[in-house]
Amino acid sequence: MTVRVEARNLSLDYGDVEAIRDVSLSLADGRIYGLLGRNGSGKTSLMSLLAGFRRPTAGEALVDGEPVFENGNATRKVCLIREGADTVDSMEKVEAGLEFAARMRPYWDDAYARRLLDRFELSARKKVGDLSRGQRAALAVTLGLASRAPVTMFDEAYLGLDAPSRYVFYDELLRDFMEHPRLVVVSTHLIEEVSLLFEEVLILHEGRLILQDEAEAFRMRGANVIGPRDTVDRFVAGMTVLERRELGPTASAVVYGEFDDHLRRKAVEAGLEVGPLPLQDLFVHLTSSQEGEDDRS
Amino acid sequence: MTGHSAAAGQSPGAPSFPWPLVKGHVSFALLVWAGFVAFVLVVILAVAAVRGIEVSGWDRATEAVRFYAVFIGIHLGYSQLPLHITHGQTRREFAMQAAMFAGVFVTALAAMVAAGFVLERGLYEVAGWPQDVSDGRLYTSPSELHWIFVQGWLVQGLWFVGGALIGAAWYRGAWSAGIALTAAIIVAIVSQMFITSDWTPFMNIYEQAAGSADIQPALATLYNLVLIGGLLAACWYVIRDIPIQNKAA
């Protein structure tokens, strides 16, 4: 059995505010998707619709072709984890939270949950309400990973973790995904830190899906050119430069646009190094240029 | 190729009877009840040391049980509802499970109220005190355990469902909480009017509705069941599409 998530002309309004506008997408099983967007772009709203946490104002959110909202067949396949560990009663102990998840989650792996608690150095005897922000985030991602839900979504759930714990999360996410492939969606602000996990990238901007593409194809939309300052400047003249940095006589320029083999060869012949396009720079470029277009229209 | 299968012993189907919720809350209520009975008996003995005992202490003390019921109702609507939905349950499934839980929990509370009278009777018989109850109850004597149970069930049931309504509405937002609280208070007053005869100035309304100022247990039971049904309908109206909010860490 494989799982598929779709959105068809999905919209969500909060009063006069259009949080999600006419979003259509299709997500396949066995992939890790990165959901990127600036603050207020609609990432949480979109994930809430896909998990059945909210009723769409218009359009449909589907899991395996069935509407998600108020459909237990669909919602039991979905696990959306937010940072606040709001899937656990804060008056209970961590242990009770795991027991509750074990009862509610049909794909739950209790032994794996216990291993994750050990990795995050989190005691099951602690009361959830007494946990620090980082510990709550650790508990939240533990519940998400151990849910083994066919559709697992993390809505910036790990942002409260310190750097070593975040790397534990990335490591566990990738390892568990390899052993138990499923459809994973990760929304984040820490784009560069987590971008290597993504197989496909979605960018939301002002409630609209402005891009859905393979992460690799995404990175091929430009390059990072590094070398002597004058050589770099001559080489990138006429190109769209997203970011330029200098360190002594060396410069690096992030260029956007088709960067084919011919250009790569020319760059190497000129004594330049060509690296992949940083996802974060491209994200900033796309969302700011989109803003410009919106302003002009 | 990916494949997803439920964990051993787990069914991806609809949830069944809410045993964990029932076991957790009923066993805790039993502990609270045991402590409460002991506390009331101690207070009765303390009063007896300074003056004569003329009425049932437990009869007065059970007025507090409704506040326990409303608290658990609020907890169910405000905390348990979003918790269950974030774990993949639908609002309809939760509502059904909550209704089953409410039925069992309220029955347990009513049985505990009635059992308290039995325990108190033992003390009163030994001491030779009269175990009189207040006027304006569905029961006129502590020996009418069936009516004690019915009144306990109706009052606790109404306050529990009212609490669930307030809790769910509170989760939904401040405005809906205000409306739900107002509605629940009005319903509680009307309910009390049907059960007790000392609720002036509302007794005129009661007299017109019931045809007499005397409490008619069967009629009062019927009216209260209608009120509980109305509160249940209001609960469903509030939770049928309740959005699950993103709580800050």
> Average pLDDT, stretch B86-114?
96
One domain, residues A151 and A175: yes
CATH number at residue A80: 3.40.50.300
Domain boundary among A148, A180, A213: A213
B204-to-B211, B214, B217 alpha-carbon distances in Å: 10, 11, 18
One domain, residues A50 and A191: yes
Residue carrying structure tokens 């409460």: B36
Chain A interface mutation, best of B83, B93, B97, B175, highest count of A Cβ atoms under 10 Å:
B83
One domain, residues A152 and A32: yes
Please determine, for residue B14, whether its predicted confidence score (pLDDT) is greater than 90. no
Query: Among A134-138, A260-264, B45-49, B231-235, where is mean pLDDT lowest?
Result: A260-264
Domain boundary among A188, A213, A238: A213
Residue A293: what pLDDT?
55
Chain A residues lying within 8 Å of B248, measured CB to CB: 83-84
The DSSP result for chain A, as a single string, is ---EEEEEEEEEEETTEEEEEEEEEEEESS-EEEEEE-TTSSHHHHHHHHTTSS--SEEEEEETTEE-TT-HHHHTTEEEEETT-TTS-TTSBHHHHHHHHHHH-TT--HHHHHHHHHHTT--TTSBGGG--HHHHHHHHHHHHHHH--SEEEEESTTTTS-HHHHHHHHHHHHHHHHHS--EEEEE-S-HHHHGGG-SEEEEEETTEEEEEEEHHHHHTTEEEEEEEHHHHHHHHTTSEEEEEEEETTEEEEEEES---HHHHHHHHHTT-EEEEPPHHHHHHHHHHHHHHHHHH-
One domain, residues A126 and A231: no
Q: Do B88 and A104 touch (CB under 8 A)?
A: yes
Compare CB distances from A89 to B83, B91, B249 and report the shortest one's residue. Answer: B83
Convert the pLDDT of each residue in B144-167 to its tens digit. Answer: 999 999 999 999 999 999 999 999
CATH number at residue A226: 3.30.70
Contact B155, B191 (CB under 8 A): yes
Q: How far is B208 from chain A (nearest CA, A)?
A: 44
One domain, residues A169 and A192: yes
Chain B residues lying within 8 Å of A105, measured CB to CB: 7, 10, 87-88
Q: What percent of chain B has pLDDT over 70?
A: 86
One domain, residues A90 and A160: yes
Residue B82 touches chain A, beta carbons under 8 Å: yes
Please determine, for residue B3, whether its predicted confidence score (pLDDT) is greater than 80. no
Nearest CA in chain A to B249: A84
Residue B80: what pLDDT?
94
Q: Work out the mean pLDDT of chain B and round it to a whole number.
A: 89
Say how far apart CA B57 and CA B111 lie, in whole Å.
17
Residue B16 touches chain A, beta carbons under 8 Å: no
pLDDT tier for residue B15 given thresholds of 50, 70 and 90: low
Residue carrying structure tokens 């237990």: A72
Q: How far is A86 from chain B (nearest CA, A)?
A: 7
B158-to-A124, B36, B231 alpha-carbon distances in Å: 37, 21, 8
Say how far apart CA A133 and CA A117 lie, in whole Å.
15
Convert the pLDDT of each residue in A75-122 to its tens digit. Answer: 999 999 987 667 888 889 999 999 999 999 999 999 999 999 999 999
Residue A213 one-letter amino acid? D
Chain A residues lying within 8 Å of B241, measured CB to CB: 55, 69-70
Count of structural domains within chain A: 2
Residue B242 one-letter amino acid? I
Residue B23 touches chain A, beta carbons under 8 Å: no
Chain A residues lying within 8 Å of B85, measured CB to CB: 52-53, 75
Residue B249: what pLDDT?
45
Residue A129 touches chain B, beta carbons under 8 Å: no
One domain, residues A226 and A286: yes
One domain, residues A178 and A276: no
One domain, residues A181 and A244: no
Q: Do A71 and B4 touch (CB under 8 A)?
A: no
Interface A–B counts its CB contacts (< 8 A) at 115
Residue B6 touches chain A, beta carbons under 8 Å: yes
Q: Measured in whole angstroms, how far is the alpha carbon of residue A138 from the centre of its chain?
A: 17
Chain A interface mutation, best of B1, B11, B87, B175, highest count of A Cβ atoms under 10 Å:
B87
Domain boundary among A169, A193, A213: A213
Cα-Cα end-to-end distance for chain B: 36
One domain, residues A62 and A87: yes
Residue A297: what pLDDT?
42
Say how far apart CA B151 and CA B69 lie, in whole Å.
14
Chain A residues lying within 8 Å of B246, measured CB to CB: 44, 48, 82, 84, 86, 155
Q: How far is A62 from chain B (nearest CA, A)?
A: 15
pLDDT tens, residue order, chain A (297 aa): 689 999 999 999 999 999 999 999 999 999 999 999 998 999 999 999 999 999 999 999 999 999 999 999 999 999 999 876 678 888 899 999 999 999 999 999 999 999 999 999 999 999 999 999 999 999 999 999 999 999 999 998 878 899 999 999 999 999 999 999 999 999 987 888 888 899 999 999 999 999 898 988 887 788 889 999 999 999 999 888 888 889 889 999 988 887 888 888 999 999 999 988 888 888 887 787 555 455 444
Quote the ipTM score: 0.88
Residue B198: what pLDDT?
57
One domain, residues A10 and A36: yes
Q: Do B20 and A103 touch (CB under 8 A)?
A: yes
Residue B11: what pLDDT?
53
Contact A72, A104 (CB under 8 A): no
Residue B186: what pLDDT?
92
> Average pLDDT, stretch B94-115?
96
Residue carrying structure tokens 């606040």: A84
Nearest CA in chain B to A69: B90
Chain B residues lying within 8 Å of A158, measured CB to CB: none
Please determine, for residue B131, whether its predicted confidence score (pLDDT) is greater than 50. yes
Label residue A70 left, alpha or beta by phi (over 0 means left) and psi (-120 to 50 means alpha): left
Contact A245, A236 (CB under 8 A): no
Surface of A (44-103) touching B: CB under 8 A: 44, 48, 52-55, 69-73, 75-80, 82-89, 91, 100-101, 103
One domain, residues A105 and A248: no
Surface of A (230-249) touching B: CB under 8 A: none
Q: Which domain holds residue A252?
A: 218-296
Residue A170: what pLDDT?
94
> Average pLDDT, stretch B82-105?
96
